[in-house]
Every structure is written in structure tokens, then in C-alpha cells.
């Protein structure tokens, strides 16, 4: 399948082009500016111009640190190769177009700025995840931003958002149902919103906006942070007060999927007070492109993940009190310079804005400071999470359990000679690995989480071998799979929803679509809104399902052979439940769980590459 991707773009090579910036916006001297390597490959341009309306909104969500753009040669990566500086230039040009058309253009983000690439996770000891990378967001004219669940896994990250990020947006960074406990007057602990509960403002054209920022019912947040259930939030006195006055439109921005979650609760609470006021919803979290309308005077848009999508929505407003359906349009843009230049009516020589150049240079400087180009080895081929079946030679999950963990976890480990089974959740792997240099950034992109490896010694082999099937819903405990999936979703795991979306896309593709060799690999979206949402036409990505949990090959031995059962701490509670359901000889508790190695999950690929890929 991966060979097909290469035939689509012929031979891909990388070059570095040097450019000189214009005058700095603050009047400083001009400086040399080198853009990072860019793919020399034909990128399909957008299929048609954008449709502008009275209100136009550019939407980002689930960026997860992908601010340097996707830099690999295998498709679909080149389609997402624009960096955040390119995006800043695009926004600047679109703002000018909006002024020329005399319409409003807003910029919103639906959260999850943490966990995903070296720019956020590659900080040196003593640093805070995403603290430096997040500074690039406040250089763009965001009108509203909402908190995501990845801002809450670690208290220090949430505190950094509260103290250093939210103030930059002057009340427009919203956390309607998310609080953090901080020291109040006299040192007494007090629970306060991470950002603001809501925002009211006027657009450039003077239109009144009421905005909320809602998080789904997340349960994986760290101590001293709280997430209020959505159904409780809409019954709060502050909520009723916030929506009492009728604006020209409600702008609901939140880290919650637009479908199969609790947006209807928020929507219905607003509709009960304002039956006809336009409601524009911007969701996130499930990493998919999606759109639906709760009624004819609303629209809800979700714009993918990892800066693989930039959403665009336009709405024509009518008179207050009108019950007619709104005229709405939505588009999912591939974030690359071809897309940006097409829609901003700019050519390459005039596209880069001073602010865009500054951001690109700043991102490169941050990458250098974090040493993200540090090379661990050379990957011999592409390894994918879902475009190759598991198990197979092209599967990243197979590589992890067959080679990476058995190699990396034996380094400087006194228990290396004791037989073991190593279990991890497949959600601990976040992105594909591509052939070529394997760097510190690639390591953190593929696996950004600082999960620790733990173990329980002296587990009978027959019991240890049964843990994985039960975790994956097999055996007599198969019924626990439903609740487990719900629990994993509540803790932030969206792999199942994203995977189901890819599977549906794959299954819809007929032979004619797959035979269209002039189309590159990418997303082919089918949502519930009228018309075609994808800005650029693609052929769907191949998709093969994989289990929620994976393990190394069990050792040989008798049923009573005592082995080490090794697992990441993220799934420790589930492993204990399964162990206690499989046997009655011993009741396992957290006191039986020990540290297996000092090497963390986000380090194992680098350790392996140094050993095997050199």
C-alpha cells in the first residue's frame, strides 16, 4: 500500500530554500531567514474557491504540537506540510480579504495543544510541556480558544495554562466547566476557572457574540483540577446569566465531538431561551472531520487533528427573530502552502507575512534548542498504525511489541533474564514512523507519553497469558469491553472513534476511487452537512483495525512458570482488575506493582533505534 503512495508523487526529494524576510514589524533590521526543508512534490490544489458569508470562521483543533508541519516524504504527509508560520500568513491575508469584502472573519481553537511532537514534549528537564510552543498561539489573532483534556493530565501544565496562557487572550481562553485549585488569599486553596467561563464581545462589524468553551466529561484529569459534567454546567446560575441576553449569534467552542456527545445539552439549554438565534458550534477531541446541524439555524463543525485540517465556516445572517434556515457553508482545508496561496490569492513570492516569517524562525529556533534533529538511527521503511494490518512487517504496533520493547526494556535492567510478557495499550502510539532518519522529534511524535513501565513478579504463565485477551474483550469477561471502551473514552482515548471513521472511509471507497491514480492519499469525508466538505479531493487511506491492547510474544514454559507481567502504568488499574478476575489464589493490589525500568514509553523507540537502526 505504501508503494502506491510513492507512485502518486513520483520521486520525492527535499531541498532547503533560503529566503530573506522583509522589514521586521517592530522596525528592527532585516535578517536572513531560512525555511525548513520542503517537499518537492506535486500537491493537488483546492477544488474550488471558498464561499464567504457575513460571518466567516477559521477553525483549528487538536493541534498537539504539530506547528512545524508534517515534514516526511510519504503521502499523505506532504499535504499537511504547512507550518504555523505559513498558517499565520494565511490568516493575515484572509483578514485583509474579509476587510475588502466588508465581512467578519474570526479565528477559533478547540483545544489540545499538548502531547504530540517534540515542540511540546521535547523540553529539557525542569521545563513545562508546551510552555514554549504555546507562545506562538498568542501571536495569532485568535478570538476564542477552549481548553482540551490534554491540558489537564498534569497539574503543572494546567497551572501554566492558567497563569501564563489564558491571560494573553484577555478573557477569551474559555474553560466553562473546568477549574483548577490554586493558592488563594492567605494561602487558602481556592478552585477557579482555568480560563474564563464565557466571553461576550463584538466583531469588527459590531455584531454581538456570546461564547462558551466546554470540555467533554473527562475523567483523566490530574489532582487539583476539576471537570464538571456538562449536564450540571448548563444548570448553573452563571450559565443562565451568561446566555440571558440575546447576541447576534452564539459561538460555542469546545473540546467535545460534535456528534455522539453532549453538545445537544448545551444547544438545547440555549435554544430554550433563544429559539431562533444562530448558534455556531466548533468541536474537537475525536480527531475527525465532521459536520452536522442541530436545526436549520445552527451548524456544528469539527476540524480533524494534528494540523492535518484547517476548518472554514461561513454563515449569512438574516434579521433577528427570523425562523428561516441559515445559509451555511463549511470546508476542510489541507494545511499546505498550495492551499493557503490558492485561497489567499497570493503567490509564493508574496505569501509570507512578516509575522509568518517570524513564527517560522521561532519554531526552528525552538526545535534547535530542544535538539529535535538529534538522530538515533535510520528507519529502514515506513511503519504505520493503521495502513498496514496488525500483525505485519509494516505495522508499527508489531514493531513495538516484537522488537522495540523486548530490546529497549532490557537495557541496564537486572530483570532482563527473567521471562516476561510486556503489555501496553495501542493508544500509547500516536503516529506513524517513516523511512529515513529517525530523530528525537520522530520519537516523541510516535509516542509522546511519559508512561512508566511497571511489573508484577511471579505471575503464573497461564494467568499472565490470559490477561491480554480479557483486556481486549475476550474470554468470560468479554462483557467488560463495553464499559472499558466508555472508561477509556472518558479518560481521553479517542482511538476507537478515529479508527471507526477511517474504517468507514476505507469501506466506502469503491474500485474506481482507488484506481484514480491522479489522486493522492488523504481524507475523504462524508458528514451530515450539505455539499462536499473536503477542499482537496483524495483517495481514502487504507485502514486495518487493531486491538486496544498489544503484547510481546509469551515465553515458553509450563502453566505454573513464574514470569514478570510488565505493563505501562496508564493501564495498571485495568491489569489488576483482570488478574483478580482470572484467578482466586491471590488478590493483587497496587502494593504488588513495582517499577520495572527507568526508561519511559516516550524513550523506547530512541533506545531501540540506537541499538538496531545504526
CA dihedral sign of residues 392, 73, 84, 330: negative
99, 142: one domain: yes
β-bridge partners, 110: none
Predicted pLDDT at 25: 37
Q: Is residue 519 part of a domain?
A: no
H or E element that contains 611: helix 604-612
Return d(Cα 532, Cα 590) in angstroms, integer.
52
Q: Note whether 367 and 567 are within 8 A (CB).
A: no
**Are the C-beta atoms of 424 and 430 separated by less than 8 Å?**
no
- Tell me, what's the pLDDT at 459? 97
Dihedral sign computed on CA atoms, order 311, 64, 69, 304:
negative
Query: Which of 319, 354, 369 is the C-terminal boundary of a domain?
Result: 369
Residue 290 in any domain: the answer is: yes
Same domain assignment for residues 156 and 73:
yes
Q: Is residue 525 part of a domain?
A: no
Give me the phi and psi of 528, to 5 degrees please: -95, 10
Which residue shows C-alpha cell 508541519?
69
The CATH code of the domain that includes 18 is 3.60.21.10
Same domain? For 229 and 210 the reply is yes
354 vs 31: CA distance, rounded Å: 11
* Residue 88 and residue 355 in contact, taking contact as beta carbons nearer than 8 Å: yes
Alpha carbon 561 to its chain's center = 42
Same domain (yes/no): 67, 173: yes
337 plus 397 within the same structural domain = no
Cite the beta strand spans of 216-340 per DSSP E: 225-227, 249-255, 279-283, 289-292, 298-303, 310-316, 327-333
- Does residue 408 share a domain with residue 306? no
- Count of structural domains, the chain: 2
Give the angle 216-221-251 at the CA atoms, nearest 5°: 30
Look up residue 202 and give its three cell numbers. Answer: 463584538
Residues 365 and 379 reside in one and the same domain: no
Residue found under cell 520521486: 11
Residue finishing a domain among 324, 342, 369: 369
Same domain, 438 and 503: yes
- The full DSSP string for 121-167 is H-PPTT--TTTTGGGGGGGS--SEEE--GGGSSSHHHHHHIIIIIGG
> C-alpha angle 502/506/511, rounded to 5°?
165
Identify the pLDDT of residue 11. Answer: 23
**Joined grid coordinates for residue 249:** 449569534
Residues 6+ apart with CB under 8 A from 5: 74, 75, 76, 520, 521
Residue 464 domain-assigned (yes or no): yes
Predicted local confidence at residue 41, as pLDDT? 82
What pLDDT score does 480 carry? 43
**Inside any domain, residue 422:** yes
pTM above the 0.85 mark? yes
| Residue numbers of the chain with a pLDDT score lower than 70 | 1-40, 474-483, 510-517
In this structure, the answer to whether residues 361 and 386 fall within a common structural domain is no
Q: Can you name the residues that pair with 566 across neighbouring β-strands?
A: 422, 455
Q: Is there a single domain that holds both residue 339 and residue 396?
A: no
Distance separating alpha carbons of residues 478 and 471, to the nearest angstrom:
8
Given a contact cutoff of 8 angstroms between Cβ atoms, the answer to whether 432 and 385 are in contact is yes
CB atoms within 10 A of CB 190: 12
Edge-to-edge strands of the sheet including 594-600?
A: 549-551, 420-425, 562-568, 452-460, 594-600
Question: Can you give the residue range of the structural domain that contains 130?
Answer: 2-44+55-369
Q: Which residue is it, cell 514534549?
A: 121
- Do 200 and 281 belong together in one domain? yes
**CATH number of domain containing 397:** 3.90.780.10
How confident is the model at residue 37, as a pLDDT? 55
Let me know if residue 292 belongs to a domain: yes
Q: Within this chain, do residues 395 and 343 fall inside the same structural domain, yes or no?
A: no
pLDDT value for 28: 37
* Entry field: residues in the chain: 614
Residue 36 pLDDT: 54
Task: Report yes or no on 520 lying in a domain.
Answer: no
In this structure, is residue 515 part of a structural domain? no
| pLDDT for res 348 | 83
Domain boundary among 353, 369, 385: 369
Q: Classify residue 184 as exposed, middle or buried by CB count within 10 Å of its CB (0-12, 13-18, 19+).
A: exposed
**Burial class (CB within 10 angstroms; exposed 0-12, middle 13-18, buried 19+) of 33:** middle
Cβ atoms < 10 Å from Cβ of 593: 19
Amino acid at each position: 500500500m505504501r508503494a502506491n503512495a510513492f507512485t502518486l508523487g513520483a520521486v520525492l526529494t527535499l531541498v532547503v530554500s533560503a529566503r530573506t524576510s522583509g522589514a521586521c514589524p517592530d522596525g528592527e533590521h532585516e535578517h536572513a531567514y531560512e525555511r525548513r526543508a520542503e517537499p518537492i512534490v506535486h500537491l493537488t490544489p483546492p477544488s474550488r474557491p471558498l464561499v464567504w458569508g457575513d460571518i466567516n470562521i477559521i477553525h483549528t483543533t487538536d493541534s498537539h504540537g504539530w506547528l512545524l508541519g508534517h515534514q516526511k516524504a510519504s503521502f499523505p504527509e506532504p499535504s499537511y506540510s504547512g507550518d504555523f508560520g505559513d498558517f499565520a500568513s494565511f490568516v493575515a491575508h484572509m483578514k485583509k480579504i474579509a476587510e475588502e469584502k466588508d465581512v467578519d472573519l474570526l479565528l477559533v481553537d478547540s483545544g489540545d495543544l499538548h502531547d504530540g511532537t517534540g515542540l511540546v514534549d521535547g523540553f529539557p528537564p525542569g521545563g513545562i510541556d508546551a510552555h514554549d510552543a504555546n507562545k506562538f498561539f498568542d501571536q495569532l489573532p485568535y478570538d476564542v480558544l477552549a481548553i482540551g483534556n490534554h491540558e489537564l493530565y498534569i497539574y503543572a501544565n494546567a497551572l501554566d495554562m492558567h497563569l501564563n496562557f489564558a491571560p494573553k487572550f484577555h478573557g477569551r481562553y474559555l474553560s466553562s466547566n473546568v477549574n483548577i485549585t490554586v493558592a488563594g488569599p492567605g494561602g487558602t486553596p481556592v478552585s477557579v476557572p482555568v480560563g474564563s467561563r464565557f466571553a461576550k464581545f463584538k466583531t469588527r462589524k459590531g455584531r454581538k457574540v456570546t461564547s462558551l468553551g466546554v470540555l467533554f466529561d473527562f475523567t483523566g484529569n490530574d489532582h487539583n483540577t476539576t471537570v464538571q459534567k456538562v449536564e450540571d454546567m448548563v444548570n448553573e446560575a452563571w450559565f443562565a446569566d451568561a446566555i440571558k441576553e440575546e447576541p447576534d449569534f452564539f459561538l460555542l467552542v469546545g473540546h467535545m465531538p460534535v456528534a455522539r456527545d453532549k453538545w445537544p445539552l448545551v444547544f438545547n439549554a440555549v435554544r430554550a431561551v433563544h429559539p431562533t438565534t444562530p448558534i455556531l458550534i466548533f468541536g474537537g477531541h475525536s480527531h475527525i472531520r465532521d459536520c452536522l446541524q442541530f436545526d436549520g439555524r445552527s451548524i456544528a463543525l469539527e476540524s480533524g487533528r494534528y494540523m492535518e485540517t484547517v476548518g472554514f465556516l461561513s454563515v449569512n445572517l438574516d434579521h433577528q427573530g427570523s425562523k428561516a434556515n441559515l445559509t451555511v457553508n463549511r470546508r476542510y482545508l489541507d494545511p499546505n502552502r498550495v492551499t493557503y496561496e490558492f485561497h489567499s490569492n497570493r503567490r509564493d513570492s508574496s505569501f509570507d507575512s512578516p509575522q509568518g516569517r517570524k513564527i517560522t524562525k521561532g519554531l526552528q529556533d525552538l526545535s534547535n534548542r530542544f535538539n529535535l534533529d538529534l538522530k538515533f538511527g535510520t528507519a529502514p521503511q515506513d511503519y504505520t498504525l493503521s495502513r498496514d494490518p496488525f500483525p505485519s512487517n509494516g505495522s508499527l504496533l508489531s514493531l513495538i511489541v516484537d522488537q522495540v520493547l523486548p530490546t529497549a526494556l532490557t537495557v541496564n535492567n537486572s530483570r532482563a533474564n527473567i521471562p516476561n510478557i510486556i503489555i501496553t495499550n495501542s493508544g500509547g502510539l500516536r503516529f506513524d514512523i517513516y523511512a529515513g532518519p529517525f530523530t528525537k522529534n520522530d520519537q516523541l511524535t510516535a509516542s509522546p507519553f511519559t508512561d512508566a513501565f511497571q511489573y508484577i513478579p511471579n505471575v503464573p504463565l497461564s494467568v499472565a497469558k490470559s490477561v491480554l485477551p480479557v483486556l481486549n474483550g475476550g474470554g468470560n469477561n468479554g462483557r467488560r469491553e463495553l464499559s472499558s471502551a466508555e472508561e477509556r473514552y472518558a479518560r481521553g482515548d479517542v482511538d476507537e472513534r478515529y479508527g471507526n471513521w477511517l474504517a468507514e472511509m476505507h469501506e466506502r471507497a469503491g474500485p474506481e476511487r482507488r484506481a484514480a491514480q491522479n489522486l493522492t492519499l488523504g481524507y475523504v469525508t462524508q458528514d451530515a452537512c450539505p455539499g462536499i466538505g473536503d477542499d482537496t479531493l483524495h483517495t481514502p487511506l487504507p485502514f486495518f483495525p487493531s486491538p486496544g491492547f498489544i503484547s510481546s510474544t509469551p515465553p515458553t514454559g509450563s502453566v505454573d512458570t513464574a514470569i514478570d507481567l510488565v505493563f505501562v502504568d496508564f493501564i495498571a488499574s485495568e491489569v489488576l482488575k483482570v488478574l483478580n478476575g482470572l484467578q482466586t489464589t491471590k488478590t493483587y493490589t497496587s502494593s504488588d506493582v513495582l517499577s520495572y525500568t527507568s526508561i519511559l514509553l516516550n524513550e523506547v523507540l530512541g533506545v531501540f533505534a540506537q541499538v538496531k537502526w545504526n
